[in-house]
Amino acid sequence: QGGFARVHELIDLTTNTVYAGKIIPKNRITKRHHMQKIAREILIHQNLVHRNVVRLHHFFEDTVNAYIILENCSRKSLVHVLKHRNVITEPEVRYYLCQLVAGVSYIHSQHVIHRDLKPGNMFLGEDMVVKIGDFGLATQVDGDKRVTICGTPNYIAPEVLNKLSYSYEADVWAIGCIMYAMLVGQPPFETATLKETYARIVGNKYALPPLASEPARSLICELLQPKPEDRPKLDEICKHEFFTSGYMPESLSPSCCYTMPKFASVALLSRPPQPQSQIICQAPILSQDLKSLTNSVSTLKIPTQKSPNTIAKVACSSPSAGSIIASIRKDRDARQSSLKQKLSSVLCPDKMTLCRKRPNNAVTLYRFLSDCFNKMPPAKPSGSDPSGNPPRVSSVSPLFVSKWIDYSNKYGFGFQLSDKSVGVLFNDTTRMSFTPDRNRVEFHDMHGKVTAHPHNSVPAPLHERLALLQYFTEYMDEHLTEGGDIKHQSQVAAANRHKSTVPHMKRWVRTNTAIIMELCNGTLQINFFKDHTKVIISAEKHGYMVTYINGERLSCSYWLAHISQFSCETNIYDRLWFA
């Protein structure tokens, strides 16, 4: 489903050939420029015939709908691969990227700029061949460069955002973003807000993936050059050392959509990651009123009757890494004294215990954390050998927020937990949740009264909220990646099925540094924006547990009591102090 259309699988009954049918209801085409957009898409796409471009076979209309009959791509798109895999190996990246470049080269040879290249528009055929699709934003080049701002925010080139004239090089920039997304799991400039994302794009601020090979990092830097003329030509990309120095498979098995392929050992030999700290790429910021840009691109449309066209602030829980220590300490110094004064009247420094009956609230957690910092030995440098962290916890997995959407400017705050349950805290303080199996809906009214209903028997007064909950759920399932590699998610889900209610969001707050979320079960989670690490402090059966998820979404858990006794490394220490 897209902005105007729904796509269905169609079968030609005379030949049994399967097609993708894009059906556009005419009652949704309310403005003249909508019709012109659809006509332009058809006129451009129907003339493109290439192995790496989705084929447009036919189009027609009746009094109700317009129909576009397209080549069926049974393996869906690269965004589905990333959804299941999170990241892709470098041999696979070469395979996908080389075909993407071939397709874009052909499109450019037909004087067409795609303007919306992204993983969701890289479709996969039955034989795992890459097919570029969705030409809804494409434009035919007639000699003059374009200035219209359009595209998907995370993949828009800086010259487009700055309303400068642009041409084919904008697609090359998008290829760089796609390569980064395949290696890391999310685009290079993705942040919690459109304004910050646009600021990073025009400032060329992103963190190179630390675990990627040096040739991969080099190619990313070349593709993401802020000046269009400095980016490589399409025919130069596949001649880069990234392609010539590493293995590239001739084909991929469909199982690669869900699991990492097993290449022959000789094929996997490649240069090891460089042992240097992350490299932050930055170019001079181009002059632009970012505030006006925030209103230029719409990224999310809630399909409600009252407000069908709105701009949303969407945040995914796992971009690239970078240092946050300075910002954490700055926030800490500014708030530490006032925070202690506010809480001093209700806190008492009791001796830390692991009583199972302790109340799971912020006041209790603050007391435990304060006692921990008073007792623990000095923190050790991150990456110490041997590790400066206490023994890991492997038998318990925290229930944490794996995905979230801040749409509080219109409706509320949506989130998905690691057991696959989904909830929304609406602006009127009511709450609605799906159980992990999505078969039961729970509703908390403004007075805290809880009612539960089968998914197909929700009372009529709750239908509007249910529609929003369903849309948030579908959007997060489809577009957002998991926020961590917690290995016992199935156990977490099973353990929570017997509980009477799904944990709901008690409250949340955003600062310039992080988003802080508190669940009703006492779990406190902090997602840091600059390097997208997370710290989760959960109240478990045997005491408080601290889980740290790094920028690559790798997690490790420790008992807070053990951190108090043995200390920890500075990357965890600074985030706990922030908490």
The residues that are catalytic are 116
Please give the full DSSP string across 13-26, using - where no structure is assigned.
Answer: TTTTEEEEEEEEEG
CB atoms < 10 A from the CB of 532, how many? 28
Going by C-alpha positions, the residue among 439, 423, 419 that lies closest to residue 431 is 423
Q: Which helix (H) or strand (E) holds 161?
A: helix 158-161
Residue 147 bridge partners (DSSP):
none
Cα separation of 307 and 420, whole Å?
Answer: 28
Cα separation of 157 and 137, whole Å?
Answer: 14
User: How many angstroms from the chain centroid is the CA of residue 366?
Assistant: 31
Query: In this structure, what token pair is assigned to residue 180?
Result: 């980064």
Query: In this structure, what token pair is assigned to residue 62?
Result: 């009746």
Residue 509 bridge partners (DSSP):
516
Residue 120 bridge partners (DSSP):
none
Query: In this structure, what token pair is assigned to residue 168?
Result: 């084919």
Residue 510 bridge partners (DSSP):
515
Dihedral (CA of 372, 373, 375, 381) sign: positive
Cα separation of 547 and 558, whole Å?
Answer: 6
Tell which phi-psi region holds residue 438, choosing left (phi > 0), alpha (psi between -120 and 50) or beta.
left
Cα angle value 547/257/470 (rounded, 5°): 65
Looking at residue 282, its amino acid is Q
* Radius of gyration for the chain, computed over Cα atoms and rounded to the nearest angstrom: 25
Dihedral (CA of 97, 102, 108, 113) sign: negative
CB 53 within 8 A of CB 109: no
Cα separation of 55 and 559, whole Å?
Answer: 56
User: Which of helix, strand or coil describes residue 143?
Assistant: coil
Query: In this structure, what token pair is assigned to residue 81?
Result: 């691969």
Cα separation of 212 and 136, whole Å?
Answer: 33
CB atoms < 10 A from the CB of 252, how many? 19
Cα separation of 485 and 488, whole Å?
Answer: 9
φ/ψ of 165, rounded to 5, equals: -65, 140
DSSP-derived pairing of the beta strands 17-25 and 65-71: antiparallel
